[in-house]
Structure 1
Amino acid sequence: MKKITTVLSLVLVAAALLAACGRQEDAAARPAAAPAPAVAIVVGLDDNFPPMGFRDESNALVGFDIDLAREAGKRLGVEVRFKPIDWNAKEAELNGKRVDVLWNGLTITEARKEKILFTTPYLENRQIVVVREASPIRTKADLAGKVVGVQEGSSAIEAVERDAATAKSLKELKKFGDNVTALMDLGTERLDALVVDEVVGRYYTAKKPGEYRVLDENFGTEDYGVGTRKDDGELMARLQKALDEMKNDGSAAAISTKWFGKDIIRK
């Protein structure tokens, strides 16, 4: 009897092992399940860059690009989470996968294209020169020997440096963490001029009529785009589709009118 029991036990163990192997082989034969689609995307931004993205009186994130990103998120069916970052380290934040998207007045440049995948442009911008209303500065030539401010990591730096004659004539190209601080220094005469994105400069100067003046000359025109990692083509394609839809159905124009008083979306 004992021998029979032992034999039966061995048979049951062998059957269990064979069944387990069969399940493993079936699992190996089945194709791997597709990865679940992302339910959220993290947008990196400078939260002191009005009117593109900034904090209102209640410390809530608001702005033109904030509204665009949220509308795109609805169309993609994902939650959009905003993460303030050091804008000077934006490529590192993106490629280190701490954020998925850069969407905050991001200028498309050839240098950035080497590290970032861009949508087509959605807004045209210029690098303007802001001075105090009483300043004797009228042209870029008048900047010779002057201290000119720019935001660290911004395309304003490249714009000024491309104008070699003007750049060489400056006493100093002083870099700031954000444009708000730079404008404060301009107002208190610690700066002679500020080179800044037109959308930002016009926003601030309109808030303080009679205090600042924008020169007729500027440091060139540039385009804004949305940026993803170079290897994230699927997300880029979905963002591009959403942006195209927003341009075509007028929702992007409505957001533009809310923040700028008119439709300045680049078609």
Structure 2
Amino acid sequence: MKKQTSLVIVAILAAALLAACGKKEAPAASAAAAPAPAPVAAIVVGLDDNFPPMGFRDESNTLVGFDIDLATEAGKRLGAEVTFKPIDWNAKEAELSSKRVDVLWNGLTITDARKEKILFTTPYLENRQIIIVTDKSAVNSKADLAGKVVGVQDGSSAIEAIEKDGATAKSLKELKKFGDNVTALMDLSIGRLDALVVDEVVGRYYTAKKPGEYRVLEENFGTEDYGVGTRKDDTELMARLQKAMDEMKSDGSAAAISNKWFGKDIVKK
């Protein structure tokens, strides 16, 4: 009987083993769905606070300007508090990558070199790099800049625009860089510069304030586009900013802001 009992036990165990092998494993529980991205609570905008009419300080030292109004409106649509932080514009990429600011929004020209480090919205404004001289200047063309001292803002796209025109760039006596365009214009007025190359939106703003003092040459250093920039990996914020910008263009909000600062709608659709 002992032997029979042993055989029965062995048979039962073998049957149990075969049954276990025939079972399919239960499917693993599906991974929990990724949580939806949290709304943007706050956005720090880096800007040059001496860049009218895009962003500058008025008589009461309040930050105002076309880009200030655009960014404020976009922030409302995102439900985010927007803070404006003046930065050294020449170090803007470092300010962005180090997360001291979240967005660069201040007449930021879209260039191939910048696209390697910055994620851009679609263009919202078209700009040219114009040449400003004093009204009595003998300079009337780019050819007349040969042997002359030309001013630019350090870190601006004006530098790249001039360098692209190799013949003109080589002909200059000096390309003098300034921390801001206001100082450069002062040097132009007192004769330390022969010409200033600057964003058209800025140059036209200043020259209109002092009629008869400056002239804008017919020739320029090319057309470019402005965009809003974020860090390359900040795709969620970029998507929301782009959506807000698209809505502002389509519902007329951007046009209204443009009319306030430029007297007409110059927003690029």
Fold match, TM over 0.5? yes
Name the structure 1 match of 2:127.
125
Name the structure 2 match of 1:114.
116
Name the structure 2 match of 1:50.
52
Alignment of 1:54-93 (within 5 A): 54-93=56-95
How many aligned residue pairs are there? 239
Q: Could you list the runs of 5+ residues in structure 2 that have no partner in the other structure?
A: 1-30
Structure number with greater Rg is 2
Q: Could you list the runs of 5+ residues in structure 1 that have no partner in the other structure?
A: 1-28
Deviation at 1:39, TM superposition (A): 1.1
> C-alpha separation between the residues in 2 aligned to 1:246 and 1:33?
28
Name the structure 1 match of 2:220.
218
SS for the counterpart of 2:123 is coil
Name the structure 1 match of 2:198.
196
SS for the counterpart of 1:153 is coil
> C-alpha separation between the residues in 1 aligned to 2:37 and 2:101?
19
Q: Would you say the 8 A contact 2:256–2:265 is kept in 1?
A: yes
> C-alpha separation between the residues in 1 aligned to 2:35 and 2:219?
57
> C-alpha separation between the residues in 1 aligned to 2:40 and 2:255?
28
Deviation at 1:175, TM superposition (A): 0.2
> C-alpha separation between the residues in 2 aligned to 1:201 and 1:118?
24
SS for the counterpart of 1:129 is strand
SS for the counterpart of 2:53 is coil
Alignment of 1:94-173 (within 5 A): 94-173=96-175
TM-score, length-normalised on structure 2? Answer: 0.87
Root mean square deviation of aligned Cα:
1.3
SS for the counterpart of 1:37 is coil
Q: Would you say the 8 A contact 2:40–2:78 is kept in 1?
A: no
SS for the counterpart of 2:264 is coil
Deviation at 1:153, TM superposition (A): 0.2
Name the structure 1 match of 2:242.
240
SS for the counterpart of 2:266 is coil
